[in-house]
Structure formats: structure tokens, C-alpha cells
Structure 1
Amino acid sequence: MGVENIRSQAARTDNGVVLRNVDRETMRVEYGGRVMDVQVERGVERSGIYLPPSPTWNDGEVVEEETLVLIKGAIVEIQEYWGFAADFLVLEV
């Protein structure tokens, strides 16, 4: 896959996943017309990406496992493109 910057603090992979920085603690994933906000803890070289045990789109529908795998791969790729490693963590509520 390849990554291209689409504007300041936003990038898209070849498979169409867009990752945008919303604020210091939030990133927005867009894919297939759907949106999912994820919490992030930013470090110097790494970012912790928090996902709930059953991630959902912002409209409340559960993200299918196949799509989640694709999105996680895209997040890692974009984070690496931006110079950061990505660690996925489970968000406990």
C-alpha cells in the first residue's frame, strides 16, 4: 500500500482509508463512507491507539472484523509514514 497526504494532518492509503488528526487525543478514521473516531495517546516516537473491545462506527454499527483488520493496517501504515509507531490498546470503560 501507499500513503498520500491529502491535507495538513490527514492522509489516505491506496485502499481508501483516511486518517485525520482531530485534536491531541482523537483521530478520525474514514472508510467506505463511514466514520470512526478513535482515542490516541501520543508519545515522542509512538502512539497508543485505543479501540474498544467491539469497535463501532460513529453511527453505532459494529465494524466488521475484515474491515477492522484493513483499518488497523492502514493506521499503522499512515503512522509510520508520519514517523510514528502505532500500538493498539483495548479501551476499558
Structure 2
Amino acid sequence: MTVRSLLSQKALHVESGVTLSSAGREDMALELGGHVLMIAVDRGQHRMRFTLPAAPRWDDTGEALPPEVAGELRAIITEIAVFWEQQPEFEVVEPG
């Protein structure tokens, strides 16, 4: 696992190039190559529950995330959450 802290609430997953940062109390911003995916999050004590779309798409373009990122989304988020000393939990929601 190679995660680097960029700011107090922003981290870089080095292998994928993805950054994850706080975007308020109930959201995280996942960024890659200038694109953003907002992820709902419920924060608890030492845990974070992420609500992920079943078919993730960038919020700015509506295009699907690259397969190498989409297929590893949970693993990427897990590595960053563990770096922040948080236990990640996931809920996947279908569109519509």
C-alpha cells in the first residue's frame, strides 16, 4: 500500500493516481485526471461507510470510470481509509 497525505483530509493513492478528499461532512471527492466522483459517506468513530454506485461514472462528464479504477474502487478507498486509521464499510446502490 502506498498512500501519501497531501493535506489533513486529502490523500493520494500512489499506484492508481487517485486522490480522495473530504468534501463536507457527508461527502468525499474521488479525483483522477481532472475528473471527480462524489461519494456519500457516513462517518462514525473509527469507521467510514461509503455509498458507491454500482456503475460509477464521473460527475462532470457522465463517463464511466476507467476499468482499472472502477474494478479496484473498493481496494483503493480501503487503502486510503486504513491510512487514515478508519475502518471502511461499503454500500453499493443501483442507479435509478
TM-score by length of 1: 0.87
Q: Secondary structure at the match of 1:66?
A: helix
CA distance in 1, matches of 2:36, 2:64: 12
Q: Counterparts in 2 of 1:58-77, with a 5 A limit?
A: 58=59, 59-77=61-79
Q: Which residue of 2 aligns with 1:8?
A: 8
Q: Unaligned stretches of 5+ in structure 2?
A: none
Q: Unaligned stretches of 5+ in structure 1?
A: none
The list of structure 1 runs, each at least 4 consecutive aligned residues, that deviate by more than 4 angstroms after superposition, is none
Q: 1:78 is aligned with what amino acid?
A: I
Query: CA RMSD of the aligned region, Å?
Result: 1.6
CA distance in 2, matches of 1:62, 1:13: 20
How many residues are aligned here?
93
Paired residues of 1:48 and 1:88 also in contact (CA < 8 A): yes
TM-score by length of 2: 0.84
Q: 1:76 is aligned with what amino acid?
A: T
Q: Which residue of 2 aligns with 1:83?
A: 85
Compute the displacement of 1:64 (Å). Answer: 3.9
**% identity of equivalent residues:** 35
CA distance in 2, matches of 1:47, 1:69: 20
Paired residues of 1:45 and 1:84 also in contact (CA < 8 A): yes
CA distance in 2, matches of 1:82, 1:70: 19
Paired residues of 1:17 and 1:71 also in contact (CA < 8 A): no
